[in-house]
Structure 1
Amino acid sequence: MRKWIPLAAICLGAFMLLVDVSIVNVALPKMSTDLNSSFTSLQWVVDIYALTLAALLMALGSLGDRLGHRRLYLGGLVVFGLASLTCALAPDAATLIASRAAQGIGGAAMMTSTTALLNGAYQGRDRGTAFGVWGAVNGAASAVGPVLGGLLTDQFGWRSIFMVNVPVAVLAVAMTLGYLKGGANAARGRLDLPGAASFTLFAGALTYGLIESGDKGWGSTTVLGSIGVGLLALVVFVLAELRAGRTGQPLLDLGLLRNRTFLGLTLAGLLLTAAAFAQLTYTGLWLQQVLDLSPLDAGLAVCPLALAAFVVALISAKAFHRMAPQLPIGIGLLLIGTGTLLLALVSAGSSWTVLLPGLLLTGVGVGMSTPLMMSTALAAVPRERAGMASGALNTARQLGYALGIAVLGTIFQDRVRALTPHLAGKPDLHVPFAGGLDRIFLVAGCAGLVAGLLVLALVRRTPPPAWAAAADGAPADRPVQAVKA
């Protein structure tokens, strides 16, 4: 029916931008061979996309409130489509990394607009249906990403994983122009440029320093300088937000962080993505470079995590609706930590099946913890700050993924380097790779356990109201201001 075409246009964009978070993981070995790229370059191909998303979400959400979310969404689709084309045509790793950054800009514009557009396009029961479909598409994107990436890479080469975005983006633009109405601009006042610039510099400099530490070492001037610049930018960001809070409209009201529930969930969101998903990049390298699995088989090997999360999320929406929200969220995070620790059973003689119990348990934890996380955070803040709160939580989750890849990559490189025998010829990779994975699984697992304990200790025992629950896909008759950012 015509009334669902706006939903289809929004879901196409959401599916593309979320698939591209994970679709490249199984294509990394083929990219490395074709472009003759280093391990650090491989990290950047994955990380620059998530980093750009994290750095720009809050700023573009605020910009969308002023320019209109339909206009911002269209711009994001165009940028994302063109960037995907340049990724597909990239002659070297530097071009590919730059194009992935441009993809992240387009993806951030789309991500910050989708829920606001859904909120404006549908009312009453239709709104609940639309958010439910949108949530299912988001979950499916995580499950499909590794398998779709493997299938396309096997059949058509790694460049096809980016080229496929181009016709999808064109279709989404046509549907948006024809059927998606623009809403009135509600926000006035200046964009918080000092806050946006300092936060972007903080995230970029810190991640750059962490990634480069794997090659250059922690004592490198480049590494120490980058991390120092990042920390200085964080101080500037805090000062800018304190000033904007008194005189204008801050990018982030720092007073929200005095709320124990919101602070606990924001920290948990950051640790969740680092614990559950960042390690999959290096797991994929082990599956292909050591076990000699094809890209498709490697994608299928890690798919149980996303499938378990998808199934449990569908069940938990009703099963945990009446529970105090910190219980399913906190217990789910503890399961993520435990499942990731189980992955550390990998050894030099292991096959891919050693991952299965840990991946399934981690997926169950993801399915339990994520459905209620956003609505619980929004219920903890004043309704007029709900858009800002949702943007901050989404930013924390993307930043956790970016920083997780950087930190785990450094740990992985150091461990592999230490265990690689200094012998003539090509050394056996089974022992050093297994040792590297063992170390990052331990670190990621501990991050998940810490996240669970934070939620159980800080989140209050109040269920989210109906208007906030709509942010997770539940129906609501009142307008959902919560998801504008």
Structure 2
Amino acid sequence: MASASPSRQDAQRPGRYLRYRWWGLLAVSLGVAMIIMDATIVSVAVPSIVADLGISSTQIQWVQEIYTLLFAALLLTWGRIADRVGRRRVMLIGVVLFVAASVLCAMSESGGMLILGRALQGLGGSMILPTTLALLNANFQGRERGIAFAVWGSTIGGMAAIGPLLGGWLTENASWRWAFGINVPVGLLIVAGLLLFVAESSEPVTGAAQRLDLGGAALSILGFGALVFGLIEGRTYGWWEATEAAPFQMGPLSPVPLAFLLAAVSLVGFVLLQRARTAAGKGVILDLSLFRIPSFANGNVTALIVSFGEFGLILSLPLWFQNVLGFSAFEAGLALLPLAVGSFLASGGVAALARRFSPIVVVRMGLGLEILSIAALALLIRPDSTAWLTSPILLVYGMGVGLATAQLTSVILAEVPLASSGQGSATQSTARQTGSALGIAVLGTAFFTTLRTGTEDQVAGALTGAPQLSVAVDSVNATSGGSIAALAADPQTAFIADAAREAMTDGAALAGWIAAAALLFGFLTSLRIKPAAQPAAAQTPDGAAETPDGVAETPGGASQ
């Protein structure tokens, strides 16, 4: 038995893991919560960080973006490594690294130190996310797997909304440093939960397949890193011609198209290398044969499109709440709380829905709720709107996220072999990250362009006789609307503030319509996905047979 894989070794101790598998789900979900919450908390804490450390706008930009860049670039590589060396082991290392990096961020006395800490957080986060899904895929079966994925997905949607609330409270009542320090106790709980309640799993490999595909890893990191860099920085550095903010340029050319070219060359090379190594029987970072599974291939396309629509809304709404409605950071977090409530409510209803509908039908229900709620928000919001208008809409939207996000994951991984669950999980995570980066790029550009042009157009006549006020107009775009409150307080510039509020509301509405259109397209692509055929009997983590209705039976026939 010395050569048994970790999953086989743990299967010999069924009482320890099977009995407490729902506590293991809590530990895995906390891991997801930590990385999602951290990303959203930091966005709220930015003004306090700037005031305390006195760092430049370029540095604060990289504080936010280095995390996303490394996180997205490394997902595929860590997913494959986790399949080989153990998914729980890689997640444990990722959690420890993430917590240590959080301590470094909390103790930072300079912008450079904070950027380094955020880079290490991105590295740790890229180890955590794909392994959470792979562990759920390995430790839950049948209907229980659908429930586990529902909790996982609702955690993502809920934490995206709770993060700004918690970040606002910590920033206003303690310090921005606690936005990072809070990860220490959470990380300790995750480590304890993983060790006590989550069974290890890995893919046993032999022969030439044992060698790690270093070339594939390098190409995937370079390709996805360059792609996400271009999507994130296009608005700042220029999509084609370089802006003044660009760190370098080749003639008038921005670094962004060069990044896209590098991404295209690297990813094509990655695919060709994977095909060649597969034909030679060697190990690969991504088994391209997984894309022959219709639910996996079509599901990843749908996940990318859905993430495009979902994450763009999270970008514009906090700014709109604070700069148009005048909410504080904490109040803006409270206004987003219905989204989290709806997401968690949906996770509680998934079990009942799963008994009547297949996962892909539940995905379509969720997407339908998202489309209707975003369209309603885009149609109804005004500069004088209140949280009484947005709260019920965000509640319904959160329910849609809770239904669609998790069950789409279940659909994507339903027919992926267990041995490849790390690859499958990392692939769908990469698709989601690429989609969210694309959504932030497109919807962010639409939002901020409307803010700038709308404000300029509305005050153009008034500025003819007072050109000195053009500086005030420029400040609206430079501060992403942050100067609106100060402009409103001065009678001479109050009309500029009113124009900016109107323009920002128009920008949020436009972003909402684009997001709704993307989600509608995602709904249409989901129609290509057929319900996966459920096996007559699957194996539970203890080796027991599980009937199609999700009731586990031991070899002797006793129900668990």
Q: What TM bracket, shorter-length normalisation?
A: 0.7 to 0.9
Question: Which residue does 2:529 correspond to in 1?
Answer: 459
Question: Which residue does 2:501 correspond to in 1?
Answer: 430
How far apart, CA to CA, are the structure 2 residues paired with 1:245 and 1:84?
Answer: 39
How far apart, CA to CA, are the structure 2 residues paired with 1:256 and 1:102?
Answer: 31
Q: Greater CA deviation, 130-139 or 161-170?
A: 130-139
Q: CA deviation at 1:333?
A: 1.7
For residue 89 of structure 2, the aligned residue among 44, 67, 71 is 71
Answer yes or no: is 1:312 the counterpart of 2:333: no
Q: How many residues align?
A: 475
Paired AA for residue 228 in structure 1: L
How far apart, CA to CA, are the structure 2 residues paired with 1:239 and 1:449?
Answer: 33
For residue 250 of structure 1, the aligned residue among 278, 281, 284 is 284
Q: CA deviation at 1:313?
A: 2.5
How far apart, CA to CA, are the structure 1 residues paired with 2:164 and 2:540?
Answer: 30
How far apart, CA to CA, are the structure 2 residues paired with 1:338 and 1:42?
Answer: 36
Answer yes or no: is 1:192 the counterpart of 2:213: yes
Residue aligned with 2:470, SS? coil
For residue 41 of structure 2, the aligned residue among 13, 18, 23 is 23
How far apart, CA to CA, are the structure 1 residues paired with 2:110 and 2:382?
Answer: 34
Q: Rate the CA distance shift 1:249–1:478 in 2: closer, same or farther, 3 A.
A: farther
Q: Does structure 2 retain, via aligned residues, the 8 Å contact 1:332–1:368?
A: yes
How far apart, CA to CA, are the structure 1 residues paired with 2:143 and 2:313?
Answer: 39
Paired AA for residue 441 in structure 1: G
Residue aligned with 1:158, SS? coil
Q: Does structure 2 retain, via aligned residues, the 8 Å contact 1:68–1:184?
A: yes
Q: Greater CA deviation, 85-94 or 310-319?
A: 85-94
Question: Which residue does 1:90 correspond to in 2?
Answer: 108
Q: Does structure 1 retain, via aligned residues, the 8 Å contact 2:202–2:419?
A: no
Q: CA deviation at 1:256?
A: 2.9
Paired AA for residue 200 in structure 1: I
How far apart, CA to CA, are the structure 2 residues paired with 1:435 and 1:450?
Answer: 23
Q: CA deviation at 1:201?
A: 1.7
Residue aligned with 1:279, SS? helix
Question: Which residue does 2:31 correspond to in 1?
Answer: 13
Q: CA deviation at 1:246?
A: 1.4
The equivalences for 1:103-252 within 5 A come to 103-114=121-132, 141-142=159-160, 144-173=162-191, 186-188=204-206, 189-220=210-241, 221=253, 222-247=255-280, 248-252=282-286
Question: Which residue does 1:397 correspond to in 2?
Answer: 432
Deviations 1:354-404 (A, max 9, x none): 433442332222122233222222234455544432331122123322332
Q: CA deviation at 1:266?
A: 0.6
The equivalences for 1:263-412 within 5 A come to 263-345=297-379, 346-382=381-417, 384-412=419-447
TM-score computed with the length of structure 2 as normaliser: 0.73
Residue aligned with 2:404, SS? helix
Gaps of 5+ in 2: 1-14, 242-252, 457-468, 473-486, 488-495, 542-548, 555-560
Paired AA for residue 216 in structure 2: G
TM-score computed with the length of structure 1 as normaliser: 0.84
Q: RMSD of aligned C-alpha atoms? A: 3.7
Q: Rate the CA distance shift 1:73–1:418 in 2: closer, same or farther, 3 A.
A: same
Q: CA deviation at 1:80?
A: 0.3
Deviations 1:284-334 (A, max 9, x none): 122223333122211111121221122123213322433243322123223
Question: Which residue does 2:12 correspond to in 1?
Answer: none
Gaps of 5+ in 1: 480-485
Answer yes or no: is 1:445 the counterpart of 2:516: yes
Deviations 1:118-148 (A, max 9, x none): 6778999999998887677666545532322
Paired AA for residue 460 in structure 1: K
Q: Does structure 1 retain, via aligned residues, the 8 Å contact 2:84–2:205?
A: yes
Answer yes or no: is 1:415 the counterpart of 2:450: yes
Q: Does structure 2 retain, via aligned residues, the 8 Å contact 1:211–1:409?
A: no
How far apart, CA to CA, are the structure 2 residues paired with 1:419 and 1:198?
Answer: 42
Residue aligned with 1:420, SS? helix
Calculate percent identity across the aligned residue pairs.
37
Q: Does structure 1 retain, via aligned residues, the 8 Å contact 2:313–2:512?
A: yes
Q: CA deviation at 1:162?
A: 0.6
How far apart, CA to CA, are the structure 2 residues paired with 1:289 and 1:423?
Answer: 19
Q: CA deviation at 1:241?
A: 1.9
How far apart, CA to CA, are the structure 1 residues paired with 2:139 and 2:417?
Answer: 24
Residue aligned with 1:278, SS? helix
Q: Does structure 2 retain, via aligned residues, the 8 Å contact 1:51–1:402?
A: no
How far apart, CA to CA, are the structure 1 residues paired with 2:453 and 2:58?
Answer: 17
Q: CA deviation at 1:477?
A: 4.7
Residue aligned with 1:283, SS? helix
How far apart, CA to CA, are the structure 1 residues paired with 2:534 and 2:334?
Answer: 36
Q: Does structure 2 retain, via aligned residues, the 8 Å contact 1:74–1:176?
A: yes
How far apart, CA to CA, are the structure 2 residues paired with 1:37 and 1:95?
Answer: 11
Residue aligned with 1:277, SS? helix
Higher relative contact order by CA 8 Å / sep ≥ 6: 1 or 2?
1
Q: Rate the CA distance shift 1:261–1:66 in 2: closer, same or farther, 3 A.
A: closer
Q: Does structure 2 retain, via aligned residues, the 8 Å contact 1:10–1:172?
A: yes
Paired AA for residue 230 in structure 2: G
Q: Rate the CA distance shift 1:348–1:30 in 2: closer, same or farther, 3 A.
A: farther
